[in-house]
A and B are shown apart, each in its own frame.
Chain A
Amino acid sequence: MADSRRIHESFTIMQSPEELYRFWRDLSNLPRFMRNVRSVEESSGSRSHWVVGGPDDKTYEWDAEIVRDDPGEAIAWRTVGDAHVQHSGSVLFRPATGGRGTVVEVEIAYDPPGGGAGAALARLFGTRPLEDVREDLRRFKQLVETGEIPTVRGQSAARDTHDDDEDENLPQAAPAGTQAASADEMAEEREESEVTR
């Protein structure tokens, strides 16, 4: 993928590399903080099946395999089979300095839009793939540090807050989707609402 796009994002999280690795390596945890991911099922060995909600209520599915698995340090994966959503990625966990926990670095590589193979994935990522990955990683941090993901959706106001777009006031805002209440409610909410982007 010489012409591929790369997304690179990092967060420092107050947990040990081992704890963070364990949480991430249980792939069924990923939908708890990855906003568009509906489910990840581990099949045989290093293979997994992904179901991801995309724009216009479309669902994308693919199989991925783990190509690197170093406990407490790193997980890397790439898609197999259907080329429409072809991409590869890695997450690294390394100790931060001065008792700050762990630096978590995510890198994802995919083909640019119009390039055929990666077009579907590019649509899936929307117009701001970097921010999407960043916000997923932020939710990961919030979830593992505090046990929940902060939200104000559904709170009291003199307007219907269920329709609130979390990023309405963002300069150069692109359409954003829903934000789930808590880790456990996220799954439910996803089932109730097809709106993801």
Chain B
Amino acid sequence: MRALCWMGKTDVRIETVPDPRILNPRDAILRVTSTAICGSDLHLYGGFIPTMKKGDILGHEFMGEVVEVGPGQNELQVGDRVLIPFPISCGNCYFCRRGLTSLCDNSNPKARIAEKLMQYSPAGLYGYTHMLGGYAGGQAEYVRVPYADANAVVVPDGLDDEQVLFLTDIFPTGWFAADNCEIEDGDTIAVFGCGPVGQFAIRSALLMGAERVIAIDSVPERLAMAAESGAETVDESEGEILERLKHLTGGLGPDSCIDAVGMEAHGHGATDWYDNIKQAVRMETDKPIVLRTAIEACRKGGVVSFAGVYGGVVDKVPMGSAFNKGLTLRMGQTHVHRYIPRLMELIQNGEIDPSFVITHRMPLEQAPAGYELFREKRDGCIKVVLKPQEKERRADEDPDEVGDEDEKTA
């Protein structure tokens, strides 16, 4: 089959690889109909997270049709149309039983690597480093799904791929970020970063009853999309974020702040220089610029909710500010399974159509160009959806055309 493979830093390619096969009794194999490139894939693309191996298949946002099931599989049937949450849940352990599926105790076959780095291993993830399992991802024609009975969600009739694809990650992730803010009527929520997760955090906060959402970014089309969703926008490139947020909230500060950026934030000035140096020499793996600002901006007694991914160690966290303001810091990979029923209901009721974030659609063969487009935020790119079953054009035919032709490939 054809698959998008990580071959090194900023080097992803479509390669022909062996088809996946059933390796364990509860496995299923899907024929992937839609898959997306996630902002967190860019951390891998940029080489910022260790334990990738040359040849790994990327992709953790995918859905498709069941084509094969293992002998221990009683729930799913060949032909089922399903979507797959990005954290792999066994469904049986203490954590899965409590709904903390991104902390599954059993799904990481390389848990001991994770334990070296993080003391305790979280769930295995698709296409997201070997410390988190080394599972092949779904940016491919076919994908293997372990513990498929505990993971696959059958898509209700009448919903198309683009309406439900983002239930695999970014919609629940935005929702989780807002849920962590314990929003009360009248609250003002600041969302740092208006990429796809930030966009869903904005919509989620409003659906949960926030009075105001203030969205911060520097990319015009992202701010425009945030404004369409009902957020007030602050252009980060104009500087003085803390002062402006204070002014916008009557001197109080936002009730909660959501970091929808994570470890690769872009900064300015002396601290950015400091972080770049430290990151380059691996004394600091993550650039915690938004982390710092979110803590500093938040009102006394508020919540800072981290949805953006952090992978290692950070420096100069304003702990005194967090402590003395009595902040609550909440974070983690999203327990996607827990949120899907509620969010599916919102989609079926027409309260949200998650496809609003899609700006680009392309065949899988053009995925390398999609990564580049997304990373450089060129051509208004906010979210790229790949269609592995569309094979009419291959990347080697004319990669330069991607930007011009993407809209018609849906």
Contacts and interface: CB of A to CB of B under 8 A. Distances in A.
B106 A152 contact: no
B53 A156 contact: no
A152 B21 CA distance: 11
A38 B113 CA distance: 26
Given A14-B97, A146-B147, A157 B24 contact: no
Given A156-B18, A156-B57, A157-B5, A151 B112 contact: no
A29 B134 CA distance: 28
Interface in A153-197: 153-159, 164, 166-171, 179, 181-182, 184
Given A145-B106, A158-B55, A152 B26 contact: no
Interface string B130-141: 110111100010
B26 A147 contact: yes
A150 interface: yes
A146 B94 CA distance: 12
A100 interface: yes
A89 interface: no
| A-side interface size class | 35 or more
Given A138-B111, A152-B109, A156-B17, A169 B147 contact: no
Given A148-B25, A152-B109, A159-B55, A170 B116 contact: yes
A126 to B, nearest CB: 14
B124 A150 contact: yes
Contact of A158 (B7, B72, B147): B7
A148 B93 CA distance: 13
A150 B107 contact: yes
Contacts of A168: 53, 130
A142 interface: yes
Contacts of A107: none
Given A152-B109, A154-B21, A156-B57, A171 B116 contact: yes
A73 to B, nearest CB: 22
B202 interface: no
Contacts, number: 121
A181 B90 contact: no
A50 to B, nearest CB: 25
B26 A146 contact: yes
A145 to B, nearest CB: 5
Contact of A157 (B25, B55, B93): B55
B53 A169 contact: yes
A168 B129 CA distance: 12
B259 interface: no
Contacts of A131: 112
B146 interface: yes
B378 interface: no
A11 to B, nearest CB: 9
B114 to A, nearest CB: 10
B242 interface: no
Contact of B25 (A100, A134, A147, A170): A147
B144 interface: yes
B51 interface: yes
B92 interface: yes
Given A146-B26, A182-B25, A169 B15 contact: no
Given A147-B72, A158-B17, A159-B54, A166 B131 contact: no
A141 B133 contact: no
B54 A167 contact: no
Contacts of B133: 150, 152
B24 A181 contact: yes
Contacts of B131: 169
A135 interface: yes
B407 interface: no
A129 interface: no
A14 B94 contact: yes
B377 interface: no
Given A146-B92, A158-B17, A151 B53 contact: no
Interface in B11-40: 13, 15, 17-21, 23-26
A157 B17 contact: yes
A169 B134 CA distance: 11
A100 B146 contact: no
A181 B23 CA distance: 6
A165 B1 CA distance: 24
Contact of B106 (A141, A154, A179, A184): A141
Interface of B: 1, 3, 5, 7, 13, 15, 17-21, 23-26, 50-51, 53-57, 72, 90-94, 97, 105-113, 116, 124, 130-131, 133-136, 140, 142, 144, 146-147
28 contacts: A14-B97, A138-B112, A142-B90, A145-B93, A146-B26, A146-B90, A147-B72, A148-B24, A149-B24, A150-B109, A151-B24, A151-B109, A154-B23, A155-B23, A155-B135, A155-B144, A156-B140, A157-B53, A157-B56, A158-B13, A158-B17, A158-B54, A167-B113, A169-B113, A169-B131, A170-B113, A179-B109, A182-B23
Given A14-B92, A158-B3, A158-B55, 11 more contacts: A134-B112, A149-B24, A150-B106, A151-B109, A152-B23, A155-B135, A158-B5, A158-B15, A169-B113, A171-B116, A182-B24
Q: Which 6 A-B pairs have the closest CB atoms?
A: A159-B55, A158-B55, A158-B15, A158-B5, A150-B109, A169-B51
Interface of A: 12, 14, 100-101, 131, 134-135, 138, 141-142, 145-159, 164, 166-171, 179, 181-182, 184
